[in-house]
Amino acid sequence: MKNIIVILAALSCIGLLTSARLPDTGPFPAARPGESNTAAPIPQLPPIPEPKPESGKTEVPPVKQGPPNSSGVPEKQGPKLPSQQTLEEQHLTIAAESDAEHSECERELQVLGVVFKDIPRIDDGNGCGIDKPIKVSEALPGIKLKPEAVFRCPVALALARWIKESVIPAASAAAMDQGRIVAVNQASSYICRLRNGADTGKVSEHARGNAIDIASFSFEKGKDIAVQPRREDSTLIGAFQRTISAAGCLYFTTVLDPESDAAHETHFHLDVLERNGGYRYCH
């Protein structure tokens, strides 16, 4: 009986516990003196300033734009090609000449009887000039060079050998009734310019003292023989010009005659430009 009473009492306690529930809201803690229960606002972060440019940092210059193309978009301009450069833009220098080679060349001129004299070094700026120039008044004994010509010694030597070994024998066969050659008339020797007198492009060999232009040959009697287009000339004079033009390549590294282009219709261009492998250009 006593156990039953204990059991019933325990069941009654369990029922009271299960029916009990917590209140919907709990008590708020009391506010401290001087404070309110209102929630504090969330602090806003200050604005981040834009970084200042680093001191001493060099700005990259803007890319230079060229004129707009057909689509209206400007094109970038790159460096100029050599063919687009003026003489001043090419920054050329005068080639130095060997004292020993120059002395040997002059000795050979003296043996051939060339009349010449040394003149002071020429420096016209922009690479125009001659380190050891000479002025020639007679290409060979009794054959004047008109007017006197200024160039490097190798030009005078090639000219003398060409006249002696090719021009004189060819003239003797083609114009024997005119007597001997008494003058070689030149149109250009040293001059500071680009090729064909252009504003841009490669420097002329005349500007380096490496070239001479021959316009005509004078004889003891009769008319001068002028250099002119003679490809279709079936006379002895035509044969004379074609013969000495072809022979010129034995002595010069460049030979341009009236058949080469319009710029050389009135003269031979002869020069001693040195090329890789001993290559020669003859037309």
> In this structure, what is the dihedral angle of CA atoms 155, 214, 283, 240, given to the nearest 10 degrees?
-110
Q: Report phi then psi at 199, rounded to 5.
A: -85, -25
Dump pLDDT digits (tens) for 17-27: 444 454 555 55
pLDDT of residue 72: 58
Percentage of the chain beyond pLDDT 70 is 68
pLDDT band with cut points at 50, 70 and 90 for residue 82: low
At which residue do the structure tokens 């010509």 appear? Answer: 149
**More confident site: 56 or 207:** 207
pLDDT of residue 85: 80
pLDDT of residue 74: 54
Dump pLDDT digits (tens) for 95-123: 999 999 999 999 999 999 999 999 999 99
Dump pLDDT digits (tens) for 184-239: 999 999 999 987 666 677 889 999 999 999 999 999 999 999 999 999 999 999 99
Dump pLDDT digits (tens) for 60-80: 444 455 555 555 555 556 566
Dump pLDDT digits (tens) for 120-167: 999 998 889 999 999 999 999 999 999 999 999 999 999 999 999 999
pLDDT of 257 higher than 90:
yes
